Amino acid sequence: MADKEALRHGPLGASCAHLCVDMQKLFDTGSPWETPWLKRVLPVVEQLAAAHPEASIFTRFLPVARPGEGQGTWRRYYERWSEMTLEALPPEAVELVAPLQRFVPPGVVVDKKVYSPWEGTGLDALLRARGIDSLVISGAETDVCVLAAVLGAVDRGYRVVVPVDAICSSSDASHDALLELYTRRFGQQVETAPAETILAAWR
């Protein structure tokens, strides 16, 4: 599995950014979309953000305003989850969980309407403008929005490093399967390691 001593492709540097995916109140305790592991990995995500706050980018998943909106199958999705539309939620539900809010600024927030942070957000242009070619990707959920972030980054040629102790899912089985996918099927393009190893390699 993950190399506990060093990153396979060497150290990280100034061209690396931390992409933190959807660590929001929307997925915290008490929400219909609660991800139970979120609180478990939050201290590790905080460590990553604290080490490089100016290089941290936080995505937020924004539901549609009301049922009936959304394109194609997203319309049906929000008919099922009508209580998770913006008109039904308190405004603070889409905010980052409280411990991460202190990193913005200097970190920035990118809002998205689908699983992928690469669609309609300007994320790629933002990263290219900053000279970023490597991403440490943390957040929720391993098998949904983190997966979309990882595969989109791979498609765009970024070096991708996944901290195995800073991602979470509401499904243990899917989480484990995705770690296997990252390490075995995408082993040439995705590196996995504990956050401690990543931070030691990112100076």
d(Cα 40, Cα 47) in Å, to the nearest integer?
A: 13
20: in domain: yes
33: in domain: yes
112: in domain: yes
Q: Which residue range is the domain that position 126 belongs to?
A: 16-63+91-201
Provide the H-helix boundaries in 36-169. 38-51, 73-80, 98-101, 123-129, 145-155
The reported pLDDT for the residue numbered 3 is 42
99: in domain: yes
Tell me which amino acid residue 80 is: R
d(Cα 176, Cα 159) in Å, to the nearest integer?
A: 22
How many structural domains does the chain have?
1
Percent over 70 (pLDDT), the chain: 98
Domain at 192, CATH number: 3.40.50.850
DSSP conformation class of 108: E
42: in domain: yes
The reported pLDDT for the residue numbered 2 is 43
Q: For the whole model, what pTM was predicted?
A: 0.94
The reported pLDDT for the residue numbered 188 is 87
148: in domain: yes
- Report how far apart the first and last C-alpha atoms of the chain are (Å, whole number): 24
59: in domain: yes
Summarised one tens digit per residue, pLDDT across range 100-141 is 999 999 999 999 999 999 999 999 999 999 999 999 999 999
159's enclosing H/E stretch is: strand 159-163
10: in domain: no
